[in-house]
Chain A
Amino acid sequence: MHLYEIPIICVLVGLALYVVLGGADFGAGLWQLESFLIPHRGEEARRRAEENREHAHHSMGPVWEANHVWLIFVLTVTWTAYPRAFGAIASTLEVPLLIAGIGIVFRGAAYALRAGSASARESALIDTVFSLSSVLTPFALGTVIGAIVLQRVPVGNAAGSLIGSWTGLFSILLGALVVVLCAYMAAVYLAADAHRAGEEALATRFRARALGIAVIAGALAIALLPVLHADAHRFYTRLVAGPGLVGVIISVIGGVGTIALVLGRRFDAARASAAVAVAGLIIGFALAQDPIFLPGLTIAQAAAPSETLVPLLFAILAGVVILFPSLGFLFTLHLGGHFDVAERDSGGVSGDVGAVLAPSRPGLAARTAVAGLLGGLGFLTIADAPWAHIVGVISLAVCALSAIAAVAPAELAAREEDG
């Protein structure tokens, strides 16, 4: 393996995690849309639709932000490691990226707004906006990948067609496939969540949806093949008869396995195998595309010099060492249901540290603050040497902290009589 290939592998892993985790969130939005689009006759049907919607909304909960930061990871690593490719992709595909961006804006806004909704009508309106934008973003991002597969993004500043680049039949179908995949994963996840919460009726409804959408996803994937054969022959051959076949096989095993597990109500295992199916698709895409990034630009040519790649990889490594345990903590709490349990002891704890830090001597703190201010004035404002500026900044920090301690805001607020 070459150094210049490692960042693209990180990008693809990030992409897979984004599709698996963030994609399921988009899909949950899609299922909310379903409950609006399909008319519900009778009280019972309406109640069930409402229940589905609430469940879809709730299951996103605490991991929501984290799932969507994967996209930022993908973008920043790409532009650092493959700047020429990023510039070309982002400028030629400005329109679908804008559409994805609009989807992200409205989706996030609707999510935040739902907390403030008081009536059923308000939350229904907000949920509609939420679901529509949940479709928009994965679709647009799918067409972006499609444009890259079709080799319609030439190197340069907006050198490709602004519309034609991403509106090929393959792009559109791929966009649709991504939307369907999101819906599929969401249905599996939602069934698993409902099953875990002991709501079997709800789990059964999402199980039926997962099976139905799996058939659609399979049909769409098969429909893509003749289009690929016609429009991206090199990619097609490498996918079905070359290195990409590995990914296809993994994906098929994962996909069929998920259906079997869902049928057998083994939802948690189905969650994992659905992720495997998505990973297989991304592996297949990467191997079929390799070594070409954009027309006339291989991955090696697109890569930044190794002086950039080495620190970048160190940063990614350090990030992974810090992030994955944190993420693991969040997911254990979320999936382990710790966020649903009742009260723990949370009484006040008295500590010696507190006693030491307590602003018991406001006079001393005030004098320290004045000394810090004078130090800052002398070393930062009057002196010119860089070392003096460091001393000056430290003095100002001391000044700020001791001034706040001298004021003792909490005691100050408590001192006054209520009135």
Chain B
Amino acid sequence: MLATIVAQNTYLRAASQLQSLSFAVHIPLVCFGIALPAMIAYFEWRFLRTGDELYRTVARRWTRLMAALFAIGVITGTILSFEMGMLWPGFMSTFGSVFGLGFSIEGFSFFLEAIFIGIYVYGWNRLSARLHFLCVLPIVFSGFTGSLMVIAVNAWMQHPSGFRLRHGRAVDVHPVAALFGNSFLWNELIHMYVAGFMVTGFLLAAPYALGKLRGRWSRYERTAFTLPFTIAAVLSPLQVLIGDWVGRDVATEQPIKLAALEGLAKTTRGAPEHLLGWYHNGKISFGIAIPHLLSLLAFHSWNHTVRGLDTVPPVDRPPINITRLSFQTMVGIGTMLALLAVVYLFLLWRRRVLPAPRPFYAAAAIAGPLSVVALLAGWVTTEVGRQPWVVYKVMTTTQAVSTASSIPVSYGVLAAAYLIVFVAAIWVLRRLALMDLPPLGEQADAEAVARAGGRTA
């Protein structure tokens, strides 16, 4: 008996880590799926309006990137859908009928995206200019509906409704209400959608900022830097407000997650907020306490009582330090990005030209990778903070996980595969960046377009 429990826990750990790894690989690609088509559409629209070839060049270069990243996203997305059943059969068997609808619709958006990316990538100069531009719009649209569906499922796991449990089976199921009538959906969706634009914006701008530091700063680089960076910069301060909104919903609906985020051991009236530090033996060591701030932020009240971890037995608490550190990482990086954005917008307001100081571009270059760290930290916060539940207060991850003894092997094999693909992807992105764009329009070049550009699909 004991042996089975120990074995189960090992699989749980391997399964969770495999799932986290696969998500971590996939989520940055999702950001590009959300935001990159809109940015490409902007430049193609500019080209149609002005006839300025430069805008089309930017759009074509980024199309190449979009196709390559989408192709990798199809792979990692397929693996994720395999893993849903391979790793969590208990979860799928019991609740597939409740949340599965969301993924089915998401599958269709993915499909729509794939079809129009195919048309768009291969259609440069082979469709009329207007028609080609129109073909990017379904890609933008399906990026939104896709994330809407996936977030609907995640929000349902965080805040489940739309069914009753009888003898371990879901009955009285209402999938539409479960997925879309959920108060958690909207703030989580907007938080992620905005994050998608921030990550894409900062990451796309980063190589051009590096180029500026090395002296490459023609109009092409300036144009390709300014749009993504401006979008990300405008959204960064707004994301602080949106994140605060999400936090208040967590405070009312998932009090134990909030207690873990803040390392609040005991239920406290007028609870303080701790910056930095480490949770140990029921308190935060080496942290900076700001009195009453937690009550004020979470409940808009100076003396509101905040539930502590002591209100549930230890087995029902998430891992405190992982949750708390990733939360602080997300908030910390988010704040720095917002500050950078405010500096940028302030300089623009004063001078009406792009900032000149080198440190600004160094910061812009670092903002790219940092925003990915914040994105992943945010997902760790919400997913680890939900533990031990897979469906909040309904099913634990231990009940959901597969009993197949091959899970640790799968973990090793897929981790190795992802590592190889990651190295290879970096290699091909570098190669593509160095390759020249094939000239448009001549029959002989159709081959070259196919090889160098379109073939990334």
- Where the two chains meet, the residues of A that have a C-beta atom closer than 8 Å to any C-beta of B are 58, 61-66, 68-69, 71-73, 75-77, 79-84, 86-92, 94-95, 97-98, 100-102, 104-106, 108-109, 111-116, 118, 157-158, 162, 304-305, 307-308, 311-312, 315-316, 318-319, 322-323, 326-327, 329-330, 333-334, 338-351, 354, 358, 366, 369, 373, 376-377, 380-382, 384, 386, 389, 392-393, 396, 399-400, 403-404, 407, 409-410, 412-416, 418-419
Q: Using Cβ atoms and an 8 Å threshold, which residues of chain A touch B407?
A: 94
Does B432 belong to the interface (CB within 8 Å)?
yes
Shortest CB-to-CB span from B315 to chain A, Å, is: 21
Q: Nearest residue in B to A348 (C-beta to C-beta)?
A: B51
Q: Using Cβ atoms and an 8 Å threshold, which residues of chain B touch A157?
A: 89-90, 93, 402-403
The interface stretch among B67-75, B322-330, B357-365, B380-388 is B67-75
26 pairs across A/B with beta carbons < 8 Å? A65-B70, A68-B114, A72-B111, A73-B107, A75-B82, A76-B100, A80-B101, A88-B89, A97-B85, A97-B86, A108-B74, A111-B71, A112-B68, A157-B90, A315-B108, A340-B446, A347-B51, A381-B241, A400-B238, A404-B234, A412-B348, A413-B223, A414-B222, A416-B219, A416-B222, A416-B353
Q: Using Cβ atoms and an 8 Å threshold, which residues of chain A touch B105?
A: 315, 319
Q: Using Cβ atoms and an 8 Å threshold, which residues of chain B touch A71?
A: 78
Q: Using Cβ atoms and an 8 Å threshold, which residues of chain A touch B112?
A: 322-323, 326
Shortest CB-to-CB span from B153 to chain A, Å, is: 11
In the complex, A73→B77 CA distance in Å? 12
In the complex, A380→B45 CA distance in Å? 33
Asked if B85 contacts A105 (CB within 8 A), the reply is: no
Q: Using Cβ atoms and an 8 Å threshold, which residues of chain B touch A348?
A: 47-52, 129
Most chain A CB atoms below 10 A, which of B95, B406, B435: B406
The 9 closest A-B pairs by CB, nearest first: A90-B85, A348-B51, A83-B96, A80-B100, A87-B93, A304-B97, A116-B431, A343-B441, A87-B89
Q: Using Cβ atoms and an 8 Å threshold, which residues of chain A touch B4?
A: none
Interface string of B46-86 (1 = CB under 8 A from A): 11111110010000000000001011101101110110111
Interface string of B384-425 (1 = CB under 8 A from A): 000000000000000000111111001001100110110011
In the complex, A139→B56 CA distance in Å? 43
Asked if B75 contacts A105 (CB within 8 A), the reply is: yes
In the complex, A130→B457 CA distance in Å? 14
Asked if B421 contacts A109 (CB within 8 A), the reply is: yes
Shortest CB-to-CB span from B184 to chain A, Å, is: 12
Beyond A62-B121, A73-B108, 16 additional contacts (C-beta under 8 Å) are: A83-B100, A84-B96, A86-B85, A90-B85, A91-B404, A98-B406, A105-B417, A106-B421, A115-B431, A157-B403, A305-B97, A342-B441, A392-B245, A399-B234, A412-B226, A414-B223
Does B244 belong to the interface (CB within 8 Å)?
yes
Residue in B130, B402, B452 whose beta carbon sits within 8 Å of that of A158 in the complex: B402
Residue in B111, B175, B418, B440 whose beta carbon sits within 8 Å of that of A319 in the complex: B111
- Where the two chains meet, the residues of B that have a C-beta atom closer than 8 Å to any C-beta of A are 45-52, 55, 68, 70-72, 74-75, 77-79, 81-82, 84-86, 89-98, 100-101, 103-108, 110-112, 114-119, 121-123, 125-130, 132, 138, 171-176, 183, 186-187, 190, 217-219, 222-223, 225-227, 230-231, 234-235, 237-238, 241-242, 244-245, 300, 345, 348-349, 352-354, 402-407, 410, 413-414, 417-418, 420-421, 424-425, 427-428, 430-432, 435, 440-443, 446, 450-457
Residue in B48, B230, B414 whose beta carbon sits within 8 Å of that of A349 in the complex: B48
In the complex, A70→B217 CA distance in Å? 44
Q: Using Cβ atoms and an 8 Å threshold, which residues of chain B touch A305?
A: 97, 171, 173
Asked if A115 contacts B354 (CB within 8 A), the reply is: no
Asked if A66 contacts B118 (CB within 8 A), the reply is: yes
Asked if B414 contacts A61 (CB within 8 A), the reply is: no
In the complex, A64→B457 CA distance in Å? 7
Q: Nearest residue in A to B122 (C-beta to C-beta)?
A: A62
Given contacts A69-B74, A315-B101, A403-B234, whether A344 and B300 have CB atoms under 8 Å apart is no
Q: Using Cβ atoms and an 8 Å threshold, which residues of chain B touch A111?
A: 71
Q: Nearest residue in A to B85 (C-beta to C-beta)?
A: A90
Shortest CB-to-CB span from B65 to chain A, Å, is: 11
Q: Using Cβ atoms and an 8 Å threshold, which residues of chain A touch B430?
A: 116
Given contacts A69-B110, A162-B405, A343-B441, whether A307 and B227 have CB atoms under 8 Å apart is no
Q: Using Cβ atoms and an 8 Å threshold, which residues of chain A touch B417?
A: 102, 105-106
Q: Using Cβ atoms and an 8 Å threshold, which residues of chain A touch B353?
A: 412, 415-416
Given contacts A76-B81, A108-B72, A158-B404, whether A344 and B425 have CB atoms under 8 Å apart is no
Q: Nearest residue in A to B221 (C-beta to C-beta)?
A: A413
In the complex, A311→B132 CA distance in Å? 34
Q: Nearest residue in B to A323 (C-beta to C-beta)?
A: B111
Given contacts A86-B96, A157-B403, whether A354 and B49 have CB atoms under 8 Å apart is yes
In the complex, A341→B127 CA distance in Å? 10
Q: Nearest residue in A to B69 (C-beta to C-beta)?
A: A112
Given contacts A76-B81, A83-B97, whether A386 and B183 have CB atoms under 8 Å apart is yes
In the complex, A64→B77 CA distance in Å? 15
In the complex, A112→B457 CA distance in Å? 6
Q: Nearest residue in B to A316 (C-beta to C-beta)?
A: B104
Asked if A80 contacts B104 (CB within 8 A), the reply is: yes
Q: Using Cβ atoms and an 8 Å threshold, which residues of chain A touch B52?
A: 348
Asked if A68 contacts B74 (CB within 8 A), the reply is: yes
In the complex, A113→B430 CA distance in Å? 11
Q: Using Cβ atoms and an 8 Å threshold, which residues of chain B touch A311?
A: 101, 175-176
Q: Using Cβ atoms and an 8 Å threshold, which residues of chain A touch B175?
A: 307-308, 311-312
Shortest CB-to-CB span from A401 to chain B, Å, is: 9
Given contacts A115-B456, A311-B101, A338-B126, whether A90 and B82 have CB atoms under 8 Å apart is yes
Q: Nearest residue in B to A91 (C-beta to C-beta)?
A: B89
In the complex, A340→B90 CA distance in Å? 50
Asked if A384 contacts B300 (CB within 8 A), the reply is: yes
Residue in A308, A343, A410 whose beta carbon sits within 8 Å of that of B97 in the complex: A308
Q: Using Cβ atoms and an 8 Å threshold, which residues of chain A touch B187?
A: 389
